[in-house]
Copies of this chain bind each other. A is one copy, B any other.
Amino acid sequence: MTGADQAATDQAAGAIERARGGDARALARLLSLVENGSPGLRPVMTALAPLTGQARVIGLTGAPGVGKSTATAALVAAYRERELRVGVLAVDPTSPFSGGALLGDRVRMQDHATDPAVFIRSMATRGHLGGLSRAAPQALRVLDAAGFDVLLLETVGVGQAEVEVASLADTTLVLVAPGMGDAIQAAKAGILEVADIFVVNKADKPGAQEAVRDLRTMIAMAQRGAGEWKPPIVTTVAVKGEGIGELVAKVDAHWSWLDSSGQRDARRRTRAREEITAIAVAELRQRVGGLPGDSRLDALADRVAAGELDPFTAADELVAATSARQD
């Protein structure tokens, strides 16, 4: 290790120590390293690896308008009653350009804004497919090492990104609201497969019973082996706090099941696999994308666009050039 590396590692260790002590600014700076994909992230990750693995990660997902932020706020309140430290990470994979990521919704979290045992962070993924898979697990890792007991991972949208986020959580809550056709959309999007618990929020609105019934039918139809977890359905009115106690109890029940079934470790290993692969692929993608000023890809693209070359042969040439450069 060079002297500069050692200095970076020492500095990272100091920042992590401060974050563990409750210094929100130190924590925010660490998360900015994650969000920006900064080179300074690497010594931080090295230093905090031994501190991870304690936090319980709860994912909340569902279409826009189902009340995810409100449910998140209600869960924060419930876990604070238990005197647990709670971190909230809100990721918006549908916001590739704006970078605004749910900040408007954060207004609802104001009740907790002055509580030092609650930390809230919004994160946009800025248009990179794969950006989410890189940044979100690392941000969870930082919050875990900072000593939070519960991490709430909130994400918006329906689709692959959501499924990907769900794979980061120990327990995934899929929220639907009455009358939005969410249940069917959820089924289409493969959300059924990732849901550990279904939450029918806004249950005081017309159509709540139909939504419960649709979900129940879908759950009944799903193939499930002996000893596998059967997702319960909880009805809530998060804005009034109704049903949140039951929801927390179901989350606890799922946590116990994860432990007793050995699934907790299995899920965390899978998560680590995906995290490593994402970083490795990002590294390789960067090499393939070419150095700034490297016109190789442009020249290949011109030939493909002109019909002179097929994209496979072009990709072969690119990979060969990349491999030649990498030593």
Contact = CB atoms under 8 A, between A and B. Distances in A.
Interface of A: 41-42, 45-46, 48-53, 64-65, 92-98, 100, 125, 127, 129-130, 133, 137-138, 141, 157-161, 163-164, 181, 185, 187-190, 193, 265, 268-273, 275-277, 279-281, 283-285, 288-289, 297-298, 300-302, 304-315, 318-319, 322-323, 326-327
A323 B284 CA distance: 10
Contacts of A308: 49-50
A313 B46 contact: yes
A312 B279 contact: yes
27 contacts: A45-B311, A46-B312, A46-B313, A49-B307, A49-B309, A50-B308, A92-B188, A93-B160, A94-B158, A96-B160, A96-B189, A98-B187, A98-B190, A127-B163, A129-B130, A130-B130, A269-B301, A269-B302, A272-B300, A272-B302, A273-B298, A275-B311, A276-B304, A280-B318, A284-B285, A284-B319, A323-B326
Contact of A281 (B97, B181, B288, B304): B288
Contacts of A309: 49
Contacts of A188: 64, 92, 94-95, 98, 100
Residue with the greatest number of chain B CB neighbours at <10 A, chosen from A159, A275, A285? A159
Contact of A305 (B160, B268, B297, B300): B268
Contacts of A46: 310, 312-313
Nearest to A164: B129
Contacts of A298: 269, 273
Contacts of A280: 288, 315, 318-319, 322
Contacts of A304: 49, 272, 275-276
B301 A49 contact: no
Contacts of A93: 159-160
